[in-house]
């Protein structure tokens, strides 16, 4: 099967209501039921009106008997009771299933985001994604639980009343129906005007969320460089942009809303004029005209009342379109079920070329890292070393060529297979806002306490964890703010030890730790890396020297390859030069301390 063919095709956003169903999957069924019930409730509200007309009609023709009055009363009582029962059921369904359905839609979207290539996620702004999950889904929640049922409810009663009108006087009833049909295109136009502005507004809200997040996360740097005013002014700019679009919305919406109501209400004088015309022409009688004048308000009333929900309907539509934009992003292909099992744990690059954008970062790279050996990647900053790790872990996929683990193209492995085979130890350690225990067990949440402690011991972390106020139950802040650099690193190594995958990708920390921390981190790494296929972006001399194979990368190509003993002999070679530079830096550090 071609990798391209498996990607979802077609646009996700296909109009507001259809997109809602698409997003909510099977949960949408209960919402449809809620809407159908709301429609039924509105029809029930029309039944007393129909029987009122029936009684009036008998009065008009002088044929009213007590049994007519009793029937009308009985039916009205039953209809009112049924109406309230159905209303209760409709609201219950709408509220309860609405929240479940939107919750499910959030999960569907999150699941989709998790399957996007990392490159796509990084290129969309964090604020935009955050706003989708907060503002947009909240708007959709109100849209499906309030506005859409109200829309269908508003249609039920007028339909019932018009049907009754047709029984009494088809010509007059047709004039009422026509006045509504004529208002349709105007409503459609107003709708489009408002939706365009609503979409701009939602985009600006997302931009301001992004600026706020940027401001909060970067506050330390902003303060250190005394640039808080500048950052704040960027946020201020975003807030002003929202105010501007809100003003524009109000200024545009107010006249348009009033115009919409006028158009609908214009039906009343039109019906009066037509009724008068019919009456003067002898085509109808006074009592029919009077009945129509009473009934016509029951037709236009619910439609005019819809104005209250108009804003939610349009904002909901814009929010759904924004969610559709996220859902339209192509997922990274990975098979659902395993069809190939890696044979061994060799890692191989076969003529790999890659660029984050149109600029190539790796060119025609081929290498084999044998199972159980350590491959050190060295080279100047920006040479493409971390990118090689990114391609093995499928944070990105190669533009050309293949990356294999155990002889299988990584793109043919399921997410689970890849996860089981690889552990990535990043240079910047990220600890979640959770206990130390949960942070260590992150890759294997069902580990026993003994397993977690054994991993912590191997990673030289057990002692300092025990000394924390609540030991393994101590909560570490987001980003691990209340632990030292070396401690954070050892927790992340414990996490990797516990996961125990056969391939370890390691971006060796460049930040210099104090001598004691440095030694403990190195001891921890020895425990982690023992017997594994290790590919390390190496900065420390001992790591480089002891590697089974060294790859010297320069401007996206492997320039030299071999062991330290072989490469160091090639005087004038890139490795020789790099080694001398590193040694000088090392000597300088030793001398300085
Ligand atoms: P190294 O690890 O050797 O320092 P990298 O692999 O991180 O180098 O980067 C190689 C090149 O790719 C650099 O020019 C860098 O600017 C670019 N690069 C790295 N990450 C990204 C990214 N996420 N988006 C765009 N360009 C990137």
Determine the angle formed by the axes of helices 28-61 and 148-168, rounding to 10 degrees: 30
C-alpha R_g of the chain = 35
Task: Give strand pairing partners of 347.
Answer: 369, 405
Beta strand pairing call for 374-379 and 533-537: parallel
Per-residue model confidence (pLDDT) at position 125: 63
Residue 25 to residue 505: CA distance in whole angstroms: 38
Paired tokens of 364: 């025609």
Which of 356, 385, 553 is the pocket-test mutation for ligand 1 (most atoms within 8 Å of CB)? 356
Residue 269 to residue 93: CA distance in whole angstroms: 39
How close is the Cα of 384 to the center of ligand 1, in Å? 6
Q: Of all atoms in ligand 1, which is nearest to the CA of residue 357? A: 25
Q: Which residues contact residue 348 at a Cβ distance below 8 angstroms, ignoring those fewer than 6 apart?
A: 367, 368, 369, 403, 404, 405, 407
Instruction: Judge contact between 459 and 527, C-beta under 8 A.
Output: yes
Q: Of all atoms in ligand 1, which is nearest to the CA of residue 556? A: 10
Nearest CA to ligand 1 atom 19: 387
Nearest CA to ligand 1 atom 14: 382
The single residue listed with the structure tokens 């969610």 is: 323
Of 85, 97, 108, nearest to 145 by C-alpha is 97
Residues shown for the chain: 593
How close is the Cα of 388 to the center of ligand 1, in Å? 10
Which of 387, 510, 539 is the pocket-test mutation for ligand 1 (most atoms within 8 Å of CB)? 387
Of 522, 196, 539, 183, nearest to 376 by C-alpha is 539
Element (H, E) at 537: strand 533-537
How close is the Cα of 488 to the center of ligand 1, in Å? 25
Per-residue model confidence (pLDDT) at position 66: 92
Paired tokens of 92: 């219950």
Per-residue model confidence (pLDDT) at position 37: 92
Residue 64 to residue 58: CA distance in whole angstroms: 5
How close is the Cα of 355 to the center of ligand 1, in Å? 9
How close is the Cα of 149 to the center of ligand 1, in Å? 51
Of 319, 370, 145, 125, nearest to 238 by C-alpha is 125
Instruction: Judge contact between 519 and 490, C-beta under 8 A.
Output: no
How close is the Cα of 555 to the center of ligand 1, in Å? 11
- DSSP letter for each residue of 309-375: HHHHHHHHHHHHHHHHHHHTSPPPP--SS------S--EEEEEEEE-SSSS-SEEEEEEEE-TT-EE
How close is the Cα of 383 to the center of ligand 1, in Å? 8
Instruction: Judge contact between 347 and 392, C-beta under 8 A.
Output: yes
How close is the Cα of 380 to the center of ligand 1, in Å? 12
Instruction: Judge contact between 295 and 161, C-beta under 8 A.
Output: yes
What residues line ligand 1, using a CB cutoff of 6 Å?
122, 356, 361, 379, 381-387, 537
How close is the Cα of 119 to the center of ligand 1, in Å? 12
Instruction: Judge contact between 156 and 40, C-beta under 8 A.
Output: yes
Nearest CA to ligand 1 atom 21: 356
What is the DSSP secondary structure assignment for residue 380, as one 8-state letter?
S
Start-to-end CA distance of the chain, whole Å, equals: 59
Per-residue model confidence (pLDDT) at position 77: 94
Using alpha carbons, list the distances in angstroms from residue 469 to 296, 460, 464, 495, 536: 74, 18, 10, 21, 35
Q: Of all atoms in ligand 1, which is nearest to the CA of residue 507? A: 2
Of 220, 386, 410, nearest to 333 by C-alpha is 410
Which of 349, 386, 392 is the pocket-test mutation for ligand 1 (most atoms within 8 Å of CB)? 386
Per-residue model confidence (pLDDT) at position 517: 67
Q: Of all atoms in ligand 1, which is nearest to the CA of residue 380? A: 3
Q: Which residues contact residue 108 at a Cβ distance below 8 angstroms, ignoring those fewer than 6 apart?
A: 23, 25
- Residue environment code for 357-374, b if the CB has 16+ CB neighbours within 10 A, otherwise e: eeebbbbebebebebebb
Kindly give the confidence (pLDDT) of every residue in the chain, 593 residues in length, as a single tens digit, with 9 standing for 90 and above: 333 333 345 788 888 888 888 888 888 888 889 889 999 998 888 888 888 888 888 887 888 899 999 999 999 999 999 999 999 999 888 888 888 888 889 988 988 888 888 777 776 666 677 778 888 999 999 998 888 888 888 888 888 889 888 888 898 899 888 888 888 888 788 888 888 888 888 888 888 877 777 777 777 777 777 777 776 777 788 888 888 988 988 888 788 878 877 887 788 888 888 888 888 888 888 888 888 888 888 888 888 888 778 888 888 999 999 999 889 888 888 898 888 999 999 999 999 999 988 899 999 999 999 999 999 999 988 999 999 999 999 989 999 999 999 999 999 999 889 989 999 988 778 888 889 999 999 988 899 999 999 999 999 999 999 998 889 999 887 655 578 888 888 999 999 999 999 999 998 866 555 666 677 878 888 888 888 999 999 888 888 888 999 999 999 999 999 999 999 888 888 898 888 887 777 666 555 44
């Amino acid at each position: 099967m071609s990798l391209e063919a498996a990607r979802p095709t077609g646009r996700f956003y296909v109009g507001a209501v259809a997109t809602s169903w698409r997003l909510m999957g099977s949960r949408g069924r209960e919402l449809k039921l809620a809407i159908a019930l709301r429609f039924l409730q509105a029809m029930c509200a029309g039944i007393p009106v129909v029987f009122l007309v029936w009684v009036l009609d008998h009065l008009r023709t002088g044929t009213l008997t007590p049994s007519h009055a009793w029937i009308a009363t009985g039916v009205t009582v039953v209809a009112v009771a049924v109406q309230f029962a159905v209303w209760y059921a409709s609201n219950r369904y709408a509220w309860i299933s609405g929240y479940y359905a939107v919750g499910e839609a959030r999960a569907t979207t999150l699941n989709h985001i998790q399957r996007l290539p990392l490159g796509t996620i990084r290129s969309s702004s964090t604020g935009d994604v955050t706003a989708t999950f907060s503002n947009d889904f909240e708007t959709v929640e109100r849209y499906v639980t309030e506005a859409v049922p109200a829309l269908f409810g508003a249609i039920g009663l007028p339909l019932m009343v018009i049907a009754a009108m047709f029984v009494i006087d088809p010509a007059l009833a047709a004039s009422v129906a026509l006045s509504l049909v004529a208002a349709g295109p105007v409503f459609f136009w107003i709708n489009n005007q408002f939706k365009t502005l609503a979409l701009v507004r939602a985009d600006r809200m997302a931009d301001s969320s992004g600026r706020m997040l940027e401001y909060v996360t970067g506050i330390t740097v902003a303060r250190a460089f005394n640039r808080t005013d500048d950052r704040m002014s960027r946020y201020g700019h975003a807030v002003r942009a929202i105010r501007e679009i809100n003003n524009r919305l109000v200024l545009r919406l107010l006249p348009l809303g009033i115009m919409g109501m006028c158009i609908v209400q214009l039906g009343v004088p039109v019906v009066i004029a037509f009724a008068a015309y019919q009456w003067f022409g002898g085509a109808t009688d006074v009592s029919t005209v009077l009945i129509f004048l009473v009934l016509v308000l029951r037709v236009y009333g619910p439609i005019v009342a819809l104005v209250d929900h108009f804003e939610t309907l349009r904002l909901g539509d814009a929010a759904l379109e924004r969610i559709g934009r996220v859902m339209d992003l192509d997922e990274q292909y990975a098979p659902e079920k395993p069809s190939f099992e890696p044979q061994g744990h060799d890692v191989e690059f076969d003529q790999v070329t890659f660029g984050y954008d149109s600029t190539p970062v790796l060119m025609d790279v081929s290498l084999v890292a044998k199972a159980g050996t350590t491959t050190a990647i060295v080279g100047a900053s920006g040479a493409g070393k971390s990118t090689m790790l990114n391609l093995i872990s499928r944070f990105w996929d190669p533009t050309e060529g293949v990356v294999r683990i155990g002889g299988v193209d990584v793109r043919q492995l399921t997410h689970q297979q890849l996860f089981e085979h690889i552990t990535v130890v990043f240079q910047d350690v990220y600890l979640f806002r959770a206990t130390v225990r949960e942070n260590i067990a992150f890759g294997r949440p069902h580990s026993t306490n003994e397993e977690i402690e054994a991993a912590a011991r191997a990673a030289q972390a057990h002692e300092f964890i025990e000394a924390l106020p609540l030991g393994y139950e101590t909560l570490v802040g987001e980003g691990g703010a209340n632990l030292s650099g070396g401690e954070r690193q050892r927790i992340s190594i414990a996490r990797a030890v516990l996961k125990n995958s056969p391939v370890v990708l390691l971006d060796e920390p460049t930040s210099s730790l104090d001598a004691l921390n440095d030694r403990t981190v190195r001891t921890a790494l020895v425990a982690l890396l023992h017997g594994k296929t290790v590919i390390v972006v190496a900065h420390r001399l001992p790591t480089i020297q002891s590697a089974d194979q060294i790859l010297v990368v320069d401007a996206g190509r492997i320039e030299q390859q071999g062991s330290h003993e072989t490469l160091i002999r090639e005087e004038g070679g890139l490795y020789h030069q790099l080694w001398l530079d590193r040694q000088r830096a090392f000597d300088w550090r030793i001398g300085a301390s």
